[in-house]
Chain A
């Protein structure tokens, strides 16, 4: 009986093992459906779910990766040209500028006729049975009002305050809401209509728009190339209110762009499909600059294959679908890129040495057809001093200035970059990054070259010989305030404190949680901090305003966290802000740079440098630097991708056989022996 039982169980065991092996033989690590292999789907990843896709509010790179595809603006950037050049987008042409008087300039935009929104149920809201409607300039005026609306809480309301009547509109709206609670319950469009339009925004018929802007802010045009000013249908804002099972407008974008969101599971995946209502698809005969691949570019584009005859002048977009998959952990994300399941990736620090060799792509990576694109981002990272502080700030005059100069002299940016960003980043000599008007590659800030001897002399001249504070007889004690409590953050800050210790100064790291840190900043209770800035638009004004006294954190809650205030700097800033790029502007920028060099409210660290990897099948790639996705200009060779994926991902099954064999070798003799003994 016992033997018979054994005879029956062995074939069953073998059968199960065979079944398991068969299942494994059919296994694959492909995270996508095989049916999509031959489709032009671009696979991208994101780490944090976007908080909002409302174009008036969304201000993160992750959110712009979506809103930049879905919403279009009157103007946009040329894909290839550098320095950056604006081209007409939804506008038929670049706007005409006409000076109204000494204070105001009028920009007149002409919208293209026949532009449609993506299909959406919201357009049936006013009783008309339809899935879309034509875009009119009233939609852009509506969006400008939304930017002013305090209830929308747009993070970019401040620069739009340069539009005539913008702030007054916001005030009227607030007053009406405060005065009458019922007014606040009316539909938004009715509220806006009730308080009247902005004085400086005039809708001329269906397609004309006049915007009156302060003469001192010609940079406003750049904002008309950002999703903040995209036409937004009032129907979408009214319909998507988060009630009755409908999502909020912040989770349901309705735009005019080349792509539309078709699936929005923001915590796992976001899918965009080509928008059949896009003007480039409906009206290829327009040959609109934003709807065809550019015919000219920057030096190097031709050699890089970005101006191939095959692509120049072709109608956009080339890619039919964009799939964003959430990847919270960097290692799985990068491994999937190496397997060919993401088309592009940044370089994670864990793999940097494997991928990059002597500043270029390693031999292994090149052999797989991966290419590396480096681009210096329009950004600046810096250590700042609170100029309102008595010990390190402006109040101490010559003495505290020398202290700041000395502290600036001992920070070795090259070493900092090597330790904390794998050598990526251009050492910053001033706030202005490369590629912007006013950036001088030959300029060397004397206080940004490491000189320990000079620094020690300056510390002594500042009244702290050997770093000793004569008031206490102990090393001068300062605090470095931060909300970064991570171990990596601590190492980063210790880099600075160690450098300053060479001067005998004792800088204590005060790492608190975010709320406590913000409380300190609000109360001005900080001495040294670290911050960074990414440009909204490629103009020096967007960096120089970070030290304009009107933007001081203590005064207006603005981004001038150093609370730097210098009348001459302010005067020059206002002139630079209003001037075109000419020799006078350049001279003024240089003078401002000189003031910062001497006063040292900041210790400039780096302009960040992005290293991006692209698989060989992703064509016509040019990193853009700013957060504009530009997917419509890119193309995919899906044949090559499918081939490479198959080559790189063949399942290796022999370890399974080894494990099974080992199991049999170890266990079976034991079972047999045991059974024999029992019998």
Chain B
């Protein structure tokens, strides 16, 4: 187990180092620091101001190590900063990136945690329900609705819900965010509804397949033959034995809850990490973008390891060696 964990960690470090190198090539060699400075400061800026800006942002060093100066270069600085979580300041407005991440994480989690929980709490019971009523019209209707729901773009859900639920029916605010606990429920209702609806089709289809596969196994038939009730079979046997594929999907998603939701946050005006990433893309804020991609890669590696470990926990037959 420990050896496995160490091996996975070493692989993970390799992936992260690779991502960092890819980011370096993309953000420092394709676009020069002078161009980034001009983008941030404007075109008619004296060269001295550009130079000072580059010094302030650590862009004034040579790109690669030279003879006898392996530390005095941007490649080394890039790795050092990222690995020590010293992300520096935003290229666009000079604010410390770590502060932006801190301020964005709470709104992101405020959205993604309940969304994650609600999605699970609706999709799994619904999948159990359609699996329970397999080969009846409820099952068929459920599959048709799921396929339809999967086929619709999330953008259509967002715009449709904002118009229908917010604009016409006046149930919830069309968009916005507030940290006031009285208002936050109001603001989250619509993005949560959209998030659940947009994901439910795929989730129900997936979980239903898993449950059906499990419900055709020998031990389920045996349980049924022994007179065990259908509800008890689904809840106690089928569900518990379907946990491995469920965990793959669920645990891998957990780390990304911190990253927020790009589209939901952007369209509903939630100032989370997803919205920060979209802003960085739109505003050519390369330092923020680099950081977000790096954090995304860290979370991905972490999620992978967590998923592997969870297999061992839920299924005693799995040995991590």
Contacts and interface: CB of A to CB of B under 8 A. Distances in A.
A270 to B, nearest CB: 12
Interface stretch (B13-21, B176-184, B289-297): B176-184
Interface string A642-678: 0000000111110100000000001100110110001
Contacts of B166: 29, 332, 335
A667 B140 CA distance: 12
Contacts of A650: 170
B35 A515 contact: yes
B44 interface: yes
B172 interface: yes
Given A51-B93, A250-B94, A155 B42 contact: yes
Contacts of A652: 168-170
A31 B141 contact: no
A335 B92 CA distance: 30
Contact of B49 (A153, A250, A518): A153
B141 A267 contact: no
B85 interface: no
Nearest to A248: B94
Contact of A150 (B46, B186, B266, B271): B46
Nearest to A251: B95
B174 interface: yes
A314 B271 CA distance: 39
A630 B93 CA distance: 26
Q: Chain B's interface: helix, strand, loop or mixed, by majority?
A: helix
Contacts of A338: 167
Interface in B164-201: 166-178, 180, 182-183, 186-187, 189
Contact of B275 (A48, A251, A267): A267
Interface residues on chain A, size class = 35 or more
Contact of A265 (B103, B170, B183): B103
Contacts of B169: 651-653, 655
B248 to A, nearest CB: 30
B41 interface: yes
Contacts of B104: 267
A332 B162 CA distance: 7
Interface stretch (A102-110, A113-121, A320-328, A395-403): A320-328
B94 A242 contact: yes
B22 interface: no
Interface string B102-128: 011001000000000000000000000
Nearest to A558: B44
A339 B104 CA distance: 28
Interface stretch (B4-12, B131-139, B252-260): B131-139
A106 B163 CA distance: 60
A518 B186 contact: no
Nearest to B31: A515
Interface string A83-114: 00000000000000000000000000000000
Contacts of B279: 49, 267
B237 interface: no
B48 interface: yes
Nearest to A2: B229
Interface string B39-55: 10111111011001000
B274 to A, nearest CB: 12
A31 B183 contact: yes
Contacts of A242: 94, 96
Nearest to B163: A335
Nearest to B284: A514
A565 interface: no
A263 to B, nearest CB: 11
Most buried by B among A24, A153, A519, A666: A153
Contact of B138 (A30, A268, A670): A670
Interface residues of B, number: 61
A207 B307 CA distance: 70
Nearest to A673: B136
A612 to B, nearest CB: 21
A424 B128 CA distance: 57
A28 interface: yes
Given A49-B93, A667-B138, A327 B168 contact: no
Nearest to B190: A29
Contacts of B103: 265, 267
B42 to A, nearest CB: 6
Given A515-B35, A678-B230, A24 B171 contact: yes
A218 to B, nearest CB: 24
Given A242-B94, A327-B269, A651-B171, A31 B41 contact: no
Nearest to A559: B44
A48 B92 CA distance: 12
Contact of B170 (A29, A174, A519): A29
A339 B167 contact: yes
A404 B137 CA distance: 72
B137 to A, nearest CB: 6
Contacts of A678: 230
A671 B176 CA distance: 40
A28 B180 CA distance: 16
A581 to B, nearest CB: 29
Most buried by B among A151, A329, A674, A678: A329
Contact of A33 (B170, B183, B275): B183
A49 B95 CA distance: 12
B61 interface: no
A336 interface: yes
A514 B169 CA distance: 43
Contact of A31 (B137, B138, B186, B266): B186
A174 B275 contact: no
Nearest to B34: A515
A557 interface: yes
Contact of B269 (A49, A52, A266, A328): A328
A194 B100 CA distance: 37
B174 A336 contact: yes
Contacts of A298: none
Interface string A333-349: 00110110100000000
Nearest to B32: A515
Nearest to B176: A31
Contact of A515 (B38, B100, B182): B38
Contacts of A667: 138
Given A49-B279, A51-B92, A33 B182 contact: yes
A29 B174 contact: yes
Contacts of A304: none
Interface in A571-604: none
B271 A265 contact: yes
Contacts of B210: none
A52 B90 CA distance: 13
Nearest to B183: A33
B267 interface: yes
A331 interface: yes
Most buried by A among B103, B159, B178: B178
B138 A325 contact: no
B204 to A, nearest CB: 14
Contacts of A329: 175, 266-267, 269
B75 interface: no
A27 interface: yes
A558 B175 CA distance: 42
22 contacts: A28-B186, A29-B172, A31-B173, A31-B174, A31-B175, A31-B187, A33-B182, A49-B279, A153-B45, A153-B46, A250-B94, A329-B175, A331-B162, A332-B175, A335-B162, A335-B166, A336-B173, A515-B31, A557-B43, A649-B170, A652-B169, A671-B133
Give the 7 A-B residue pairs with the shortest CB-CB distance, closest first: A268-B271, A515-B35, A31-B173, A332-B175, A670-B138, A31-B176, A332-B174
